[in-house]
Amino acid sequence: MARHPLQRLESPSRLFSLLLHTAGLVSFTLSFRWLDRWDHPMVKGYGGYYQHLTNIGLAMAFVTFALGVAADLTLHRPLFALKNAMSVTSAPLEVLISLLYWGIRAIDTALLYPPEMELYWVTDVGFHLVPAVVLTLDLLLLSPPWTIRAYAAMAISMGIAFLYWGWVELCFSHNGWYPYPIFAILDTPQRVALFTGAASLMTASTVLLKWLSSSSIRPDPHQQDNTLTPQIVPTLPTACTASRIASSTIAPRSAPFASSSLRTLQQTSRRAYSSQPPKDKNGIKVLPFVALLGLCSISYTLLVNSRNGTKPPPSDNMPLIDGPSKKPALAAPAKSTPTFSPKTTTVLFVLGGPGAGKGTQCANLVKHHGFTHLSAGDLLRAEQDRPGSQFGQLIKDYIKDGLIVPMEVTVQLLENAMQATIDAAGPGAAEHRFLIDGFPRKMDQAVKFEAAVCPAKLVLFYDCPEATMEARLLERGKTSGRADDNAESIRKRFRTFVETSMPVVDYFAQEGRVIKIDATSTPEDVYEVTKTQLKARLSNF
């Protein structure tokens, strides 16, 4: 890569440049602030959030625009040149990240992240679209043109792709999981194809941006005419002949002028840049490219094969559950049939906002109708307090922040509790009836539970206004001692319920499996309505 003679070393519009760089820097800073507040097992693993290519590209974009702001404020030309050099690499990388992310996301979001990691659209755009847009604007408007050979672009792209692959495998050897679930689905040859395709796409992005940046340059009126218009200038032999004539005919006192004329002729002894560009001899060198690809592929195939024999070390105290940090959800084979048959096991989901009175109604049904009450929240709280639990702190932080605990954790806890109840009842029990309180909280949880554990017969949905629920929870918080019974956590739980749990209610309502009950009345009145509705819908009630 080399700087083009006409590349700008200062902004053509200092105000626009400063505004663009500042806006980009603010966006990147907000994204990093979000990452610092992101509490997920991956952050605590080897490599942290830099296991994701998105965050590596974001760091490069941050450095690029920090240099841009410094150059705009100081008008220091070396800073501007350094910013341009960073932009040549970071802009194509961000374009690659955006193309890959949104392309794969259109196919299936589960290939990019597990359900509990889904981003709000504003955050999603801030990470996966804004950097590519602002870096492309900076490259095209503030620093063109620039030069980079096709083979050099390939080498940079291939180097980034395979260095990132090596980094991913190194993190896996420490953590036991991949940052993107798609890596767990693909085998080694498929990963080679994925990273090679990504490198080729980045090369294409680099070439396209190079062409766009070269076409976006405008003539500088302050430059001399010989750099803007076609000129035929003397060849080198002509210049030498002229110099000999000058040296033989001009008086000694004119020697300095002759030397100056010679230098002028020698400096202009080729066509100016814009008159006739030199022939591009920068074709793709196929043999070195194939050799580089083969070397990287063989190296990382050996790395993966040797790594497969070294599993992550087990925990000293094995947890009650196999959490998501052991194996991505997509990597585990799905069960062909649920663990429990709906013919002998009746499952009712009990849903409603926090403070709707679900626990009270479940207690009445257990007391008078022989249901087993399983509260997802109680099971999670018991797991977080269990000595030696690997995921105790994770669950505690999720509950405190009003967030949904990873699906694999909750589903496995419920299945274990149901199995323990059935085992305790013995083989003589003809039927088992469960009330599952506060679950499912999201559609993916509902789908996974019904596919892997047991389909639900009905959903009891207790409808209650937020103001009523908040008053109930604040009153309960005075004596409950629960960390999530405070105003801030309560409001977060309300938002989470509306955004993630109401679609579950709507889904089951479309299937005719929802009993909606007004929960604003007294507990006794609500229970009477519940009994009446269940008698009408359940034959064995």
Residue list, annotated binding site for ATP: 355-360, 476, 521
Query: What is the token pair recorded at 404?
Result: 């949904």
**b/e burial code for range 470-492 (CB count within 10 A of at least 16 → b):** bebbeeebeeeeeebbeeebbeb
Residues with Cβ within 8 Å of 82's Cβ and at least 6 positions away in sequence, in order, are: 67
The whole-angstrom separation of Cα 508 and Cα 517 is: 15
| pLDDT greater at residue 119 or residue 328 | 119
pLDDT in tens, 306-347: 443 333 333 333 333 333 333 333 333 445 588 998 888 999
Q: In the predicted model, is pLDDT for residue 233 greater than 70?
A: no
DSSP state of 433: E
Residue list, annotated binding site for a ribonucleoside 5'-phosphate: 381, 403-405, 438-441, 445, 482, 493
pLDDT in tens, 450-502: 988 999 999 999 999 888 888 888 887 776 656 556 677 777 778 778 877 88
- Please give the model's pTM, rounded to 2 decimal places: 0.46
Q: In the predicted model, is pLDDT for residue 131 greater than 90?
A: yes
Q: In the predicted model, is pLDDT for residue 7 greater than 80?
A: no
Are 380 and 413 spatial neighbours (Cβ–Cβ below 8 Å)? yes
Helix, strand, or coil here: 312? coil
Q: Mapped to the 3 state alphabet, what secondary structure does 159-177 carry?
A: HHHHHHHHHHHHHHHHHCC
Average pLDDT of the chain to the nearest whole number: 75
Residues with Cβ within 8 Å of 373's Cβ and at least 6 positions away in sequence, in order, are: 362, 363, 365, 366, 434, 435, 437
**Phi then psi for 458, rounded to 5 degrees?**
-145, 165
pLDDT in tens, 388-433: 777 788 888 777 766 777 788 888 889 989 999 998 888 777 788 9
Helix, strand, or coil here: 461? strand
Query: What is the token pair recorded at 14?
Result: 């200092």
Task: Catalogue all structural domains in the chain, each as residue range(s) with its CATH number.
Answer: 14-216+286-305 (no CATH), 235-267 (no CATH), 333-537 (3.40.50.300)
pLDDT of residue 297: 57
What's the pLDDT band for 286 if we cut at 50, 70, 90? low
pLDDT of residue 285: 52
Q: In the predicted model, is pLDDT for residue 246 greater than 50?
A: no
Q: In the predicted model, is pLDDT for residue 376 greater than 60?
A: yes
What's the pLDDT band for 202 if we cut at 50, 70, 90? confident
Residue list, annotated binding site: 355-360, 381, 403-405, 438-441, 445, 476, 482, 493, 521
Dihedral sign (CA 135, 141, 142, 143): positive
CA 523 to chain CA mean position, Å: 45
Of 34-38, 146-150, 312-316, which range is least confident? 312-316
Of 98-107, 190-199, 354-363, which range is least confident? 190-199
Helix, strand, or coil here: 350? strand
Q: In the predicted model, is pLDDT for residue 100 greater than 80?
A: yes
**Rounded mean pLDDT of 63-87?**
89
Tell which residue, 283, 335, 309, has the closest CA to residue 448: 335
Of 181-185, 259-263, 273-277, 334-338, which range is least confident? 273-277
Dihedral sign (CA 383, 389, 391, 393): positive
pLDDT of residue 294: 61
- Distance (Å) of CA 18 to CA 138, 162, 424: 11, 35, 70
